């Protein structure tokens, strides 16, 4: 069965066009059916009440629509919302919606779990489960629109569970679905891929013509410091990553989680400035989410402010972000870890649950 939601809108248009032609159905039906995938989505074909009943039935038999089952929805006192979704095979993933003025940024997952084991990350602690399909990634946006069309995200960031560039095929297609006018129609500048720097796929991402944004998880300005926090440094080394970024035609953001005693000294700020300045990179300083990483604590607020000031004094644009959703475990992977702990379900045990 063709999974239309895992195709680009152009490929879905072709598949639907062929399907209509084989059934000798009028071509104008395509204009009614295609928007029901992403623009005005329906959860099930029988819900597309603007289509004749026999066409709805035939679509239902021919094309299953991927659905995410909402397990938990938590709203923080600061308005941040966290969604825990169950996939068809029982795996669970998370999305976080962060409202800020008119902007609604949805942080989406690209993998169930993650193999990379960054020490400050709850998802890293659960290990890798599997890659998500393009339908499962893009459906995190689709499900929100199904819940409330008014709540369509204005911005999307690949910063949830998983390393998006280790699932490049599906992420590549999802980028098109998010941006295409027949998909969700979200501007490329409002879509950000956040990566630790998987170099071969970074080059592929860089070759895309659209102005998608790139965020790089740096977290330390030295190879040794980075290695202590992020095992991926063994494979893709900081100097090679920085070299690759010089070839990137667009502005880069460095993500930098401030961890007490690990990466938050004035010397760290100076070294970070020497990396960011030549690239014109924006530095996003993020307070470590408390409780997400055993044995690590956030830097004191005064130290975070001093770190930000020091970067700025070197001419680097830096922004100290507020920690969002502190009362709902909104750092990536935390909710799934929490739900599993509560239910005393080991990750292996829900792999085959329907």
> Which residues would be at the binding site for ligand SF4 (CB under 6 A)?
114, 116-118, 121, 123-124, 161-163, 196, 332
Instruction: Extract the runs of DSSP E, i.e. beta strands, from the chain.
Output: 69-75, 81-86, 92-100, 103-107, 111-113, 128-131, 155-158, 191-195, 213-217, 252-258, 282-287, 318-320
Does the annotation mark 332 as catalytic? yes
Instruction: List the end-to-end C-alpha distance of the chain, in Å, as a whole number.
Output: 19
Does the annotation mark 107 as catalytic? no
Residue with tokens 């152009």: 10
* Integer angstrom CA distances of residue 334 from 11, 256, 312, 349: 36, 19, 32, 18
* Integer angstrom CA distances of residue 56 from 38, 63, 90, 347: 17, 10, 28, 38
Q: Indicate which residue of 107, 118, 121, 332 is catalytic.
A: 332
Q: How far is the CB of 235 from ligand SF4 (least distance, A)?
A: 12
The Cα 250–Cα 279 span in angstroms is 10
The Cα 169–Cα 15 span in angstroms is 19
Indicate the SS3 state at residue 95: strand
Q: How far is the CB of 109 from ligand SF4 (least distance, A)?
A: 9
Q: Indicate which residue of 81, 94, 136, 255 is catalytic.
A: 94
Q: How far is the CB of 326 from ligand SF4 (least distance, A)?
A: 18
Residue nearest ligand SF4 (C-beta atom)? 124
Q: How far is the CB of 229 from ligand SF4 (least distance, A)?
A: 9
Q: Which residues form the catalytic set?
A: 94, 332
């Amino acid at each position: 069965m063709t999974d239309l939601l895992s195709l680009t809108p152009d490929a879905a248009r072709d598949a639907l066009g062929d399907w209509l032609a084989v059934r000798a159905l009028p071509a104008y039906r395509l204009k009614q059916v295609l928007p029901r995938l992403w623009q005005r989505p329906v959860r099930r074909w029988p819900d597309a009440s603007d289509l004749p009943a026999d066409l709805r039935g035939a679509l239902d038999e021919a094309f299953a629509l991927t659905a995410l089952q909402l397990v938990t929805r938590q709203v923080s006192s600061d308005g941040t919302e966290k969604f825990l979704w169950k996939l068809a095979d029982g795996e669970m993933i998370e999305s976080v919606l962060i409202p800020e003025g008119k902007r609604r940024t949805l942080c989406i997952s690209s993998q169930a779990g993650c193999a990379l084991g960054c020490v400050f990350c709850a998802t890293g602690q659960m290990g890798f489960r599997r890659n998500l399909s393009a339908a499962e990634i893009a459906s995190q946006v689709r499900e929100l629109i199904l819940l409330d069309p008014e709540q369509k995200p204005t911005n999307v960031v690949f910063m949830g569970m998983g390393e998006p560039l280790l699932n490049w095929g599906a992420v590549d297609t999802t980028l098109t679905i998010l941006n295409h006018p027949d998909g969700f129609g979200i501007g490329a500048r409002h879509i950000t891929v956040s990566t630790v720097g998987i170099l071969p796929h970074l080059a592929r991402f860089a070759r895309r013509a659209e102005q998608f944004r790139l965020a790089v998880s740096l977290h330390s300005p030295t190879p040794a410091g980075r290695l202590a926090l992020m095992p991926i440094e063994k494979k893709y080394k900081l100097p090679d990553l920085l070299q690759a970024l010089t070839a990137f035609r667009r502005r880069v953001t460095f993500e930098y989680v401030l961890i007490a005693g690990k990466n938050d000294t004035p010397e760290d700020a100076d070294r970070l400035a020497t990396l960011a300045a030549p690239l014109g990179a924006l530095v996003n300083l993020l307070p470590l989410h408390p409780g997400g990483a055993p044995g690590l604590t956030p830097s004191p607020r005064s130290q975070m402010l001093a770190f930000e000031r020091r970067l700025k004094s070197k001419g680097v644009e830096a922004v100290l972000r507020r920690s969002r959703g502190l009362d709902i475990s909104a750092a990536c992977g935390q909710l799934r870890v929490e739900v599993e702990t509560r239910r005393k379900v080991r990750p292996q045990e829900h792999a085959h649950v329907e």
